[in-house]
Amino acid sequence: MKSTIFFTLLFILGSWTSFSQGNVLTNKLIWTERAFSPEYIYSVRSMNDGDHFSAREGNKIIKYSYADFTKPVATLYDGQSLGSSKMGDYFFNADETKVLAATDRRGIYRRSFTADYRIVDLKSGKSQPLYTKGPQMLADFSPDGSKVAFVYENNLYVRDLNTTEVSQVTTDGKQNAIINGSADWVYEEEFEVTKAFYWSPKGTKIAYLKFDESEVTEFTMNYYEGGTYPSPYTFKYPKAGEDNSKLSLHIYDLKTGTTTEVDYGEAEYIPRMKWTQNDDELIILTLNRHQSEVNYLSVKYKKGSTVVSTVFNEKSDTYLEIDNNLLFLEDGSGFLRTSEGDGFRHIYKIDFEGNIRQITSGTWDVIELKGIDEKNGRIFYTSAEEGAIYQSLYSIGLDGSNKTKLSEKKGNNNASFSTGMKYYINYYSNAMTPPYISVHSNDGKEVTKLVDNAELISKLGSYGLSQKEFITIRGVEHDLNAFIIKPANFDPSKKYPVYFNIYNGPGHNTVTDSWAGSNYLYHQLLAQKGYIVISVDTRGTMNRGAKFKKSTYLQLGKLETEDMIAVAKQVQKWDYVDADRIGIMGWSYGGYMSSLCMTKGADVFKMGIAVAPVTNWRWYDNIYTERFMRTPQENADGYDDNSPINHVSKLKGKYLLIHGSGDDNVHVQNTMEMTDALVKRNIDFDMFVYTNKAHGISGGFTREHLFNKMLAFTLENL
């Protein structure tokens, strides 16, 4: 996903609230005043020389040295020509003489946005709009820096910076019908694709995807903005078993002004594409509808025609996940990718004849490929080799020899490398320690400290926080990773209520030795109120190999719920636990799980909170749901047996449903249908809807209000 490492520098400093409240945590302190927000540096942009990086500070772009962060090297841009416009992100051209600045950003969905892009000349400091007809998307310099491609109103455009001429590459773009060069909703959410066009290495061609979503079913949400009538918002959302956009791949030749459609055969999805070092060769990844077979296809372009051939193929009895671990070797000998072919995710080298060499091995998962230093033959990656709750940084030779652990501190390590892989910025934290950020040489030695959050650590110390402990608890078949937070004045002779906070779904672990920010502080608040807080990673979660993760295939929710019930029953037997006061809370997939636990596990769980839950998998999007469940037409029992809406008659405890009415991801339909099913059976419950709020339920005082509501419900019912 990353070639050049981009970055932006941002310091998020929380307001230092006085300790006048007796050092007692409150939701106001945590969520509104952000009193415990760490100082942080993220999205660093390496400069071409690999010795310096740039950072945005307000509207300014400042140049720093990796080796010495004590003072700026230079101010590259003072921001004056932007006036009152606020710069969000920025991108250099090839020779770093110009910048594309995204100003006045307007969010669309989770990742996509429009902005008023401006072209900034760093020598003169002057800027000019990229396009004047309206906000643009995804502006991107050509490799030689002479042109900028962008999307406007679902069409792809190219601006020549030498002539200022703007060429319209496509003309058929239309809202809720045709999208050129950017992705539809479900691609953005589930494949993390927003930009769907790519410059060739020399900038002579652009490959792009066209989404024909005219036959995809529409979904409408109402927004309540004070008018006489609500404002409807309609977009295309393919639910499980429903039609996707019709996809096509095209190559635009800038020299001839012609467009060629690529015949890549039958495939439902193209989740990734990348040009090789060859200006006329593109590699695309295609997936079938079940996401059980991936093909790496070579697309060779010549004078308006293409030749497509298979480079690599992989199949699975369950599903294959598409990640961003794809790196082409500069010498043209092939590429690196990760695969779970031997049961764990490892790094493989594949040449263009399809020959495969496994580079890493062991009963642990590679998490992310960070880059490659081809000159010295070293690959850099993070892995869970020290355990599923940890993330460590390693390097290894291209031939699989001389593996070296680079991260010194056990916990969570993540690295952002400079151009040329000479330096990296390491972001370290553990469960009790906010981020420690430092620059390292590529042999792992620390060069300079950037952020240590010493002030925040001192401040947290005055609140008497409890230790976050990592333990294992037996599930149905496995010992499961868990964390536990006990009240600071814990007395093993007393009985305590237990509050489970869970997710349990594919792609996300809650039990990690890393800083969890505001959620961690809320758990500490609960501990101050006398609760034991526990989280568990059940079967189906990450970094314990493919068998453990994929055991839930075709029956999402079943094994996870069985594990949670088994864990809760064990916890009930602990001497210091009040067996009649076991509660559970989750958000999104966690809300789905808390709803299943409150129904299928009704005799165990006294209280449950479900935030933005899926209550019937038939109502969620098809790429995510079918990856794990296939279609409802093929697996009706898998859908119905594990959807909470079909188990409402079992509910006994106190149950709170919370949703945002503007949730474009897990539609509020899930909560509305759940409440309807409960009312039809005359079953009592509580519900709260946050007007116009999306899946994250945030903005203004919203988070404080939400967590106050959940806290009050917990105090009253657990």
Q: Tell me the per-residue pLDDT of 581-635, one tens digit each, with 9 for 90 and over.
A: 999 999 999 999 999 999 999 999 999 999 999 999 999 999 999 999 999 999 9
**591 in helix, strand or coil?**
helix
pLDDT (tens digit, 9 = 90+) per residue, 215-268? 999 999 999 999 999 999 999 999 999 999 999 999 999 999 999 999 999 999
CA angle at residue 599 from 595 to 603, to 5 degrees? 125
For 344, the token pair is 């764990």
CA angle at residue 272 from 633 to 200, to 5 degrees? 150
| Residue 42: predicted pLDDT | 62
CA–CA gap between residue 95 and residue 47 (Å, rounded) = 10
Q: What is the 3-state secondary structure (H, E, C) of 520-547?
A: HHHHHHHHHCCCEEEEECCCCCCCCCHH
pLDDT (tens digit, 9 = 90+) per residue, 268-284? 999 999 999 999 999 99
pLDDT at 95 over 90: yes
Contact 203, 143 (CB under 8 A): yes
Bridge-based pairing of strands 496-502 and 577-587 is: parallel
Comparing 63-72, 294-303, 368-377, 520-529, which segment has the lowest mean pLDDT?
A: 63-72
Q: What is the 3-state secondary structure (H, E, C) of 141-194?
A: ECCCCCEEEEEECCEEEEEECCCCCEEECCCCCECCCEEECECCHHHHHHHCCC
Give the C-alpha distances (Å, rounded to integers) separating 22 from 18, 19, 26, 85, 712: 9, 6, 11, 42, 21
pLDDT (tens digit, 9 = 90+) per residue, 481-516? 999 999 999 999 999 999 999 999 998 999 999 999
Q: What DSSP assignment string belongs to 199-225?
A: E-TTSSEEEEEEEE-TTSPEEEEEE--
Calculated CA dihedral for residues 463, 466, 468, 474, nearest 10 degrees: -150
pLDDT at 687 over 70: yes
Comparing 48-62, 428-442, 573-587, which segment has the lowest mean pLDDT?
A: 48-62
- Mean pLDDT value across the chain: 94
pLDDT (tens digit, 9 = 90+) per residue, 324-360? 888 889 888 899 999 999 999 999 999 988 899 999 9
CA–CA gap between residue 612 and residue 609 (Å, rounded) = 10
Half-sphere exposure of 452 (CA within 13 A, CB side): 5
**Percent of the chain topping pLDDT 70:** 97
| Residue 7: predicted pLDDT | 30
Of 164, 220, 154, the C-alpha closest to 184 is 154
Amino acid at 637: D
Contact 593, 556 (CB under 8 A): no
| Residue 43: predicted pLDDT | 61
**Percent of the chain topping pLDDT 90:** 91
Count the neighbouring beta carbons within 10 Å of the beta carbon of residue 243: 13
Confidence band for 365, pLDDT divided at 50, 70 and 90? very high
pLDDT (tens digit, 9 = 90+) per residue, 176-220? 999 999 999 999 999 999 999 999 999 999 999 999 999 999 999
CA–CA gap between residue 369 and residue 349 (Å, rounded) = 12
What is the maximum alpha-carbon separation in the chain? Answer: 81
| Residue 627: predicted pLDDT | 98
Token pair 């920010």 is found at 517
Bridge-based pairing of strands 532-536 and 496-502 is: parallel
CA–CA gap between residue 257 and residue 596 (Å, rounded) = 56
For 647, the token pair is 């188990």
Of 238, 195, 198, 188, the C-alpha closest to 218 is 238
Comparing 38-52, 90-104, 436-450, 586-600, which segment has the lowest mean pLDDT?
A: 38-52
N residues, the chain: 718
pLDDT at 4 over 90: no
CA angle at residue 117 from 116 to 121, to 5 degrees? 140
pLDDT (tens digit, 9 = 90+) per residue, 430-460? 999 999 999 999 999 999 999 999 999 999 9
Of 583, 599, 582, 590, the C-alpha closest to 502 is 590
φ/ψ of residue 133, rounded to 5: -85, -15
Query: Residue 230 has what DSSP assignment?
Result: P
704-709, long-range: CB < 8 A, 24+ apart: 704/27, 704/28, 704/30, 704/31, 704/32, 706/611, 706/658, 707/27, 707/30, 707/31, 707/522, 708/27, 709/656, 709/658
Ordered structural domains, the chain, with CATH? 465-717 (3.40.50.1820)
Bridge-based pairing of strands 654-660 and 686-690 is: parallel
| Residue 578: predicted pLDDT | 98
Comparing 196-200, 274-278, 573-577, 655-659, which segment has the lowest mean pLDDT?
A: 274-278
| Residue 6: predicted pLDDT | 28
CA–CA gap between residue 535 and residue 500 (Å, rounded) = 6
Query: Residue 411 has what DSSP assignment?
Result: S
Query: Quick one: average pLDDT of 94-98?
Result: 95
